[in-house]
Every structure is written in C-alpha cells, then in structure tokens.
Amino acid sequence: MNDLSLAAARSLDDQDDLGPYRGRFDLPHGRVYLDGNSLGALPKATMARLAEVAQAQWGQDLIGSWNRHDWINSPVALGAKVSGLIGASPDEVVVTDTTSVNLYRLIITALEMQRGRHEVLSEAGNFPTDLYVCEGATRTFGRDATLRVVPRDRVVSSIGPSTALLLLTHVHYKTSDLYPMAEITAAAHARGALVLWDLSHSAGAVEVDLAAANADFAVGCGYKYLNGGPGAPSFLYVARRHQARALNPISGWHGHARPFDFTDEYSAAPGIRRFLSGTPSILANAALEVGLDLLLEAGMARIAAKARRLTGLFIALVESRCADFGLTLMSPRPADARGSHVSFSHPNGYEIMQALISESVVGDFRAPDIMRFGFTPLYTRFEDVWIAVDRLRHVLETECWREPRFAERASVT
Amino acid sequence: MNDLSLAAARSLDDQDDLGPYRGRFDLPHGRVYLDGNSLGALPKATMARLAEVAQAQWGQDLIGSWNRHDWINSPVALGAKVSGLIGASPDEVVVTDTTSVNLYRLIITALEMQRGRHEVLSEAGNFPTDLYVCEGATRTFGRDATLRVVPRDRVVSSIGPSTALLLLTHVHYKTSDLYPMAEITAAAHARGALVLWDLSHSAGAVEVDLAAANADFAVGCGYKYLNGGPGAPSFLYVARRHQARALNPISGWHGHARPFDFTDEYSAAPGIRRFLSGTPSILANAALEVGLDLLLEAGMARIAAKARRLTGLFIALVESRCADFGLTLMSPRPADARGSHVSFSHPNGYEIMQALISESVVGDFRAPDIMRFGFTPLYTRFEDVWIAVDRLRHVLETECWREPRFAERASVT
C-alpha cells in the first residue's frame, strides 16, 4: 500500500466484495466504530429474529416451542455453525453459558483427565478472566492443583512433567499477538500436556483451524467478532477423540443422556452435548445465530484476508501520518502474526482515546497505556481506517487531549 | 368454596383485583395454559423492552452502553428486584447464569466453608439437575466430598456431624410439597449444617421469607413464575453474614473487585457481586426485568393468596367432577403446604395429558404417571380452572386418550 490517500482507501472499498455487508448492520450515524472486538455491532436482522422467537414462538407456542421450534437443540445447532468458523467438526462445538464458565468447566475437565499432573500453565498478562477462573478452578479442584503463570517467551519451555494443561489465548487481547496454534499444541502434546485455547479474539477475526492444529479444547466469545449482542453466549470445543472420557464438572440436566427421564442419577450424554448444564437462553441464542449466519455467508477466508488489509492500512497510516507523536506499535508487523485489532501505546493513551471518542472515533483503552483499535471486516471500511487516523492525527497535533475533560477515568472503557 | 359452578368461578374473577394483570400478557387465543410453572408467559411489554435494549442501546450506543445504560450493574439491579419477591435484602441477591451453574457454584462455596465436613445431603426425587450437579460438584471438589440422597421423610434425621450442606427444593417440582423452610433450616443449623434452598418452583408462586428463615443460600429460576422467557437467567442468594468468607469457585472477571484494572490476580469483590463470573446477557436480563417488574407491582402477598385459591378450586373441582376415574391427588391438601401447581397421578397420565393438550388445556407430564397443572395467578383466571377440569372430565369420560395418536411420547413434555 503505497498510496495512503483517502481516495486510495475509497478505491479499496469500491473493489471490496465484502463491502455490501456493511449494509446488513445497524450502525450509529457519523461514528467510526473500532471496538467491535469488544462488542460487535447490531445486525439489522436481529430484531426481527428476536420478535419471531419472542412473539411467535415463546408467546404463542409457549412450552411446546422446545420441540416445535427445536429450542432443545439450539446449543448444538449453534455449535455446529460456530464449528464452520474455527475449523472444527459440527459435533465438536456447543454454544452455552459464558466464556468464564466454559473456561472453568474445561480446566476441571482437563485436570480430571490428567491424573498425576497437577499444574495449569498460563501466560502472565493473559486475558484476566482466564487467570482468575483458573485460580478458582485449581483452588477448588483439590489434589494439589496449581496455576503457574510465566512470561510469554517462557511458556513453551516451561511445559513440564507436571503440566496437565496449557491455557493460552490465541490472539492476545492487548497486543494482538497471535500464537502459532499448531506448533504450540504439538510442543505441549510432546510433553504430555493438553491445551485449552481461548479464541475470544480469534473467532470471526482470523482463520482458525482447530482440526489441523490437533487442538484439544477451546472456548470463545459470542459478543465480539461474532456480533451476538452484549453478553452473548460463549462456545466451547472438545476434540472428538476426547469426548468419551471428558467429563463436564457442572453436570446439569441438559448434559444428561436422557434429561426428560428425570432419574436421580446422572448419565452423561454421548458426545459434545454432555458439556451442557442448565437451560439455555433462547433469546440470547437467537440473537447470536443472526451474527453467526452473517459470518458464515461471508466466509472466514475473505473476512480474515480483509482483516489483514485493514490492520495493515491502519499501521501504515499511523506510522506515516502520526510519526513523531510518541506512539509505539504494540502489535506484530507481519499480518499473519496478528489478530484483527491493532494497539499503540502512548504515555497519555487514556486521554488521547477519550479525545478520539469525542471526535466520534471509538476505540478503547487498556491499562497502563494502550490504545486499541478493532477492525471488523464486515462493517469497517478502508475509508473508516483513513478517517480514524486523520482524526487521531488531529487530536495529537492540536493536543486537545490535554483538556481536563478528557482526564476523567470511567469505570468501563 | 361450596359453589363449583362456572358462574361461581366467573364471579371470583370479577372480584379478583389481580384480574387486570392478565391483560398485561400476550397469551395464545383459545388455550388454557397451565404450564407457567415450566415456562412463564410473554409479558406484552417484553418486546418493546428488547427493542429498546437492542436498537437504541446496543445498536446506537454500542460499547458505551455498559456505562450509559448501566448494563454493568444489571445483575445486581435485577438481584435487588428479585430480593423483594423472596424476603431477602437487595444486597443479598444477584441474577446470573443458569440454575445449574448457580447450584454448582454454591455447593462448592459451602463445601469450602465447611472444612471438616464432607457430605452434601439431599432428597431422593429432588429435581434431577440438583442431584446431577451435586454429583459433579462433589466428584470434582476432592477432599472426599460426597452426595448422600435419602427419602424425604428421613432428610432431617439424616443431618449428621459430617453434613456440610443440606440441598433441598423448597416446593417439590412434581408433588408441590412445600418444606417448612424456617424449621428445616433451624434443624440443620443446630447440627452445624448449612442449607441451600432451590426456589425454582417457589419464587413468584408462594411467599418466601429467607430472612425470617435465617437461610444461608438459595438459587432460583427466571423462566417459570418470573416470566423471564425461555432459559432466562437464574438468581442466587447468599446471606449477608456469609458473604465475606463465601467464595465463588468460578472466579471470573465480573466478580472481581476491580474488573477493569485487568490485573493478573483475582481479588473478590466485596458483597454479593463476587458471585458473578462472566459477562451477563443483557438481552436476557432485559426480558427478565419486565417479568420481575410485573410481579413486584402486583405484590407477592396477593399473588400467593390467589395461588392458594386457584389450586384449591382445582383440587375441589377435580375431586367433585372427576371422581371415580382413577385420579389420585399427589399434592398436599392444606393450601399452605403446597406451591402453585397441583399434581394428580393416573396410570395413563401421559396419554390423558396428551389428549388434554389437544383439547387446548396445556399442563405437563412427569414420569412415571404424574399430570401436573401450574396456576400462575397473574394470568390464570378462576374460569380457566373450571374449563380445564371440564375438559379433563370430558377426556376421562369419553376415554379419547385411548386413541393411538395420544400414545407417542415426545422428547420434551
């Protein structure tokens, strides 16, 4: 990309075969939204789908909807759709609960499978809830389970004979650093460890091939790149080869082989369904399905290719137009080593981001000094990238971020 | 109730000050829905609320909605509303996850608090997921935790020096038997055990006073009497006196004291908020809130009083008009000893219920032979009770339930 003009960006949009997908979203007017990696945008079809499920199904058919509208299979049906985005088989994924609950569930699952190994190994600075959940899981599991956290560059070398599970986030939430999944998984397997991949910043953003990586377990988020709505249900993946002996610690009735026999004893369902627990939110699942359908229609290969170009253009523009303002690129320069967001650090990153938001460019801030910009290929234009950098330059040039109004820290950024 | 005529039932409706609430629900025409104890009906206000949250909040304000629309406090705000229905303080209840996940969470919490005691004691025939979840929780907790299940009449006498937790369902899902909560809790405390009450068939149906009962823990369901929609989020209660030392095993970021500091170490939030884990579904919470507001507006005292009269009328009508057809009342006769549903057994209960459903009276069936009828005071009329029994009598008289089409067992009833 040698031509960094607005006209060139617009020309890229004109040639972009994903361009029309932007029209499928209900976006706020006049804003450049670069935080779809935190909360994806609203698909236009979502409201109609919610109305159908609430009014025609819940309202009119009531309890009969569990059969008539196949609500009972919603978690596995949605799981099958997610599988098409992450290189898994349809019978290896289920949509259920939150990412935190799914992390807990699979950490315990892995510890139970790995008798004789007590350690969960993870990365310092991993997404916090991964580490938090692991603390609780290892504490309550008993049998001396422990969490060990090491710096990123020592993760692989730290896998040892007591490592039961390696818990990693595929694309780092701050830096966008992307782990080579197949290579790391192979290294863990060679030392007898299983791997749990958190795909929260990967699914819907980059190409993931769990089958090719011979992955064991994965979880991911429904409300970021999958556009499932705030707090949308999460997904979990368990490789088919593990399913027969992998047990769900939260052994609720929806994971029972015959939930409507109402027997006193638990009998795990065969296959991925055993990882269900309670009754799924059908409204939340309905909204997520709309987001999944859009991604499947567009295709992950095209989405990931555009993500690389959007993030590449952003880096090139910032480095060209905002040089000498003290910004430092925190994300990998090679496109295939990063996710679909880009971070720059700056000592006044918080205030700069606040000023940028007031200029209608919405990114977010992560302590201590990181400005994070997410590029969601279905509704972000190359022109948006250009506008964002133009306004960033304006904010930096005018130092408007030094105004006191930009220094108040909100509780959620 | 001496006069069991249709006119008398209609007269009760005319005098019923909860009568107008029926107009606040979107009910299917021509059906008598007596399964609100399994899935509550759709409040008319729900769709508008979903549209507001999806379109105006998620769609337009996107990530900023966590602050602007106070999404971040939705679980505690809804918990405070639920507290008004179950005799708890607003800071003792939170809405989160499913009943199964909350059961798991609090079973582990109690086992951690009760070092030196290893047993969870429950009732044979308790709602299955309670027992299933307890199996998984005790298995994975280690430290020799066990689940012991005894017949209902031996529960209290079985509480022993190793009992950490008594896990009971306040209103039995099949029989509607209601435990005297204060008495049982006191008996457990006298022997050093804590009690976890499952209020799934109580909340919104009968008066519950957790404070007066000196209760320790409780969970409950959002999609039955609370009318929160299919798979609506659950609630959990932890008595204030336990909160400082009660730990959430699923220690996710929303239960962290400062979730947006993104530190590596978990630090439990003070108070009930520590029982949160992942990001809540804001759409599902929005729908639940509409149901809660209706119940709070109507008031639990009035609702519970009408429930006793509806169930009483149903029992009187069945015993008067359907005598000699082999039905056996499985629910308590004294109104204050039962919940808001009534069960009758019959050897052909399954087929009879299918025939009744085809006559537009919707109850449900629970193996092996129980027909269950739920009476939801906000939208069930005394006239509906009369019609239901009239059609039941017709089904029994004509033996139309012997037709082959009523013998096919569906997977969900």
ipTM of the complex: 0.97
Mean pLDDT of the A224-246 span: 98
Strands of the sheet containing A217-220, edge to edge, are A93-95, A235-238, A217-220, A194-198, A163-169, A119-123, A146-150
What's the fold here for domain B6-44+300-399?
Aspartate Aminotransferase, domain 1 (3.90.1150)
CATH code of A6-43+299-406, in short, is: 3.90.1150.10
Instruction: Name every residue whose Cβ is closer than 8 Å to that of residue A20 and which is 6 or more positions away in sequence.
Output: none
**What's the one-letter identity of residue A268?**
A
Q: Quote the percentage of chain B above a pLDDT of 70.
A: 98
Which residues of chain A does B65 touch, with a Cβ-Cβ cutoff of 8 Å? 39, 230
Chain B positions touching A48 (Cβ under 8 A) are none
Average pLDDT in the A383-409 region? Answer: 92
What is the rounded distance in angstroms from the CA atom of residue B374 to the CA atom of residue B34? 5
Report the candidate in A78, A76, A80, A71 with the shortest Cα–Cα distance to residue A53: A71
Neighbours of A270 (CB within 10 A): 11
Mean pLDDT, chain B, whole residue set: 96
Q: Which of B16, B177, B198, B216 is catalytic?
A: B198
**What pLDDT score was predicted for residue B2?**
75
A259 contacts in chain B (CB < 8 Å): 128
- Per-residue model confidence (pLDDT) at position B413: 39
Classify burial at B302, counting beta carbons within 10 Å of its beta carbon; exposed 0-12, middle 13-18, buried 19 or more.
middle
Q: Which of A58-72, B26-40, B132-146, B396-410 has the lowest mean pLDDT?
A: B396-410
Band of residue A405 on the pLDDT scale cut at 50, 70, 90: confident
Report the Cα B259 to chain-centroid distance in Å.
31
Contact B413 A287 (CB under 8 A): no
In percent, the amount of chain A with pLDDT more than 90 equals 94
Q: How far apart are CA A178 and CA B229, in angstroms?
A: 39
pLDDT, tens digit, 9 for 90 and up, residues A55-95: 999 999 999 999 999 999 999 999 999 999 999 999 999 99
> What is the total residue count of chain A?
413
pLDDT of residue B404 exceeding 90: no
The minimal CB distance from A266 to the residues B28, B135, B256 is found for B135
Q: How far is A240 from chain B (nearest CA, A)?
A: 21
The pLDDT of residue A404: 87
Q: Give B366-379 pLDDT, tens digit per residue.
A: 989 999 999 999 99
- As a whole number, mean pLDDT of residues A1-20 equals 94
Maximum pairwise Cα distance, chain B: 70
Decide if B193 contacts B213 (C-beta within 8 A).
no
Structure confidence at residue A367 as a pLDDT band (50, 70, 90): confident
DSSP state of B269: P
Mind giving me the DSSP string for B113-151?
HTTT--EEEEETTS-HHHHHHHHHHHHHH-TT-EEEEE-
Token readout for A73 is 């299979």
The Cβ-side half-sphere exposure at A87, using a 13 Å CA radius, reads: 18
CA distance B129 to B107: 13
Q: Which two tokens stand for residue B86?
A: 């179950």
Give, to the nearest 10 degrees, the angle between helix B300-321 and helix B6-15. Answer: 180
B223 among known catalytic residues: yes
Mean pLDDT along residues B2-20: 96
Are A265 and B140 an interchain contact pair (Cβ–Cβ within 8 Å)? no
Domain B70-298, CATH: 3.40.640.10
Query: Is B372 one of the catalytic residues?
Result: yes
> Residue A67: its chain B contacts at CB < 8 A?
410-412
CB within 8 Å: B412 and A281: no
Of these residues, A198, A216, A364, A384, which one is catalytic? A198
Q: What's the mean pLDDT in B305-330?
A: 97
Please report the pLDDT score of residue B412 as a whole number. Answer: 46
Out of A103, A136, A140, name the one closest to residue B141 (CB): A140
Per-residue pLDDT at A410 exceeds 60: no
Find the mean pLDDT for residues B262-279.
Answer: 95
Cβ distance of B231 and A280 shorter than 8 Å: yes
| A355-384: average pLDDT | 96
Q: Do A108 and B140 touch (CB under 8 A)?
A: yes
Contacts of B63 in chain A (CB under 8 A): 35, 38-39, 362, 364
The structural domains of chain A, with segments of one domain joined by +, span 6-43+299-406, 70-298
Please say if the pLDDT value at position B249 is more than 60.
yes
